[in-house]
Amino acid sequence: MELSKVIHNFTSKHTANLHERHAASIMKMCGHYSAGFKYFELAEVAEVIDLTLASIDAGHDVLVEPLDTLLQLCSKPFTKERMSDENIHVPMLPKFLNSVCPLLRLTSPTPDQEILILSACKLIGTFAAEGVMEIREKEASLEDKAIFGHDSSPLSRMYKNGTRNLLAIASSDVIDGLVACLAENLKKPDELVCAIINAIANSSLYFPNAEKFALLGGLSDLVQVLCRADDFRSYLVRISIEAIWNVLEVGGTNAVETMATEEIVSSLKSQFVEIVQKGYKLEDKCLRNELCILLNYIVNCDKSHPFFLTKD
């Protein structure tokens, strides 16, 4: 079933209230588009997500599973049909991302809503990471070095210029949504929290995104996750550290300064002491070193000094 027919089922006065039919049509559509969507279909995909979310908000839970399936399908890279798609349809990416953002802002989510939040965050994390691995692996050519300087690298240029997808995130409400989502779900199951933090880590590889995340206070919540974890060897701690470093490395001085607060310094100091006292594995020493470097970054901010001098 094509996207236009699904939209018709939602909007036609004859089928607008047939919610089980809407659910079945979305599942059938996902089978039809199993390889993923084209860029020229972005507007219709966004409309289907909007209509489905509105129906779920109205209490029609039969649409939760179909929307979850659709979000997972949207994690596959969008593809071009024509070269002109780059100019005509790619600018629709922010609208598509904004159709997912209401899920990130849900307060006191139900178990069904948590499933959708998880899929939404996985979608954003995958979307943000598209093409990044190739950039990480690419060495600067001699020509690049001649143009940009020997200290330049493809990765640093990405931090400055972004990728198609990171630019789309910067033009959408995704960063605001992720900050709200993390704050609301700090105590939820690790799988959900890890998905949120992974989306943050991947989205922060472009300066405007990293800076915005830091200025909105998101680093404080990442530190909370890091320091409240039951096991400092857990994946949750590792992904939190990665996200913090991405925001600081890309966001620069302004991002570091947002961490010069009593709450953050006190939490990191306590975590550092615990690792020094209880850690004995190589990975524990690596985490200790990461925290030590992080604390050294923060201590360079003058306003943090009173919090380091305070006796615990």
**pLDDT tens digits along 75-95:** 999 998 888 887 888 899 999
Q: Return the minimum-mean-pLDDT range out of 35-39, 173-177, 185-189, 274-278.
A: 274-278
Phi-psi region of 162 (alpha: psi -120 to 50; beta: other; left: phi over 0): left
DSSP letter (8 states) at residue 311: -
Report, as an integer, the average pLDDT of 62-74.
97
| Alpha carbon distance 307, 310 (integer Å) | 5
Q: Does this model's pTM top 0.85? A: yes
At residue 267, the pLDDT reads 87
Give the tokens for residue 8. Answer: 């018709």
Percent of the chain with pLDDT over 70: 95
State the average pLDDT for the chain. Answer: 90
pLDDT at residue 273, as a whole number: 84
Q: What is the pLDDT of residues 141-199, one digit of tens each?
A: 656 666 666 556 888 889 999 999 999 999 999 999 999 999 999 989 999 999 999 99
Residues 269 and 273: their CA atoms lie apart, in Å, by 6
pLDDT greater than 90 at residue 290: no
Report the first-to-last Cα separation within the chain, whole angstroms: 64
221 phi, psi to nearest 5 deg = -70, -35
The SS3 call for residue 38 is strand
Query: Which of 122-126, 127-131, 138-142, 203-207 has the lowest average pLDDT?
Result: 138-142
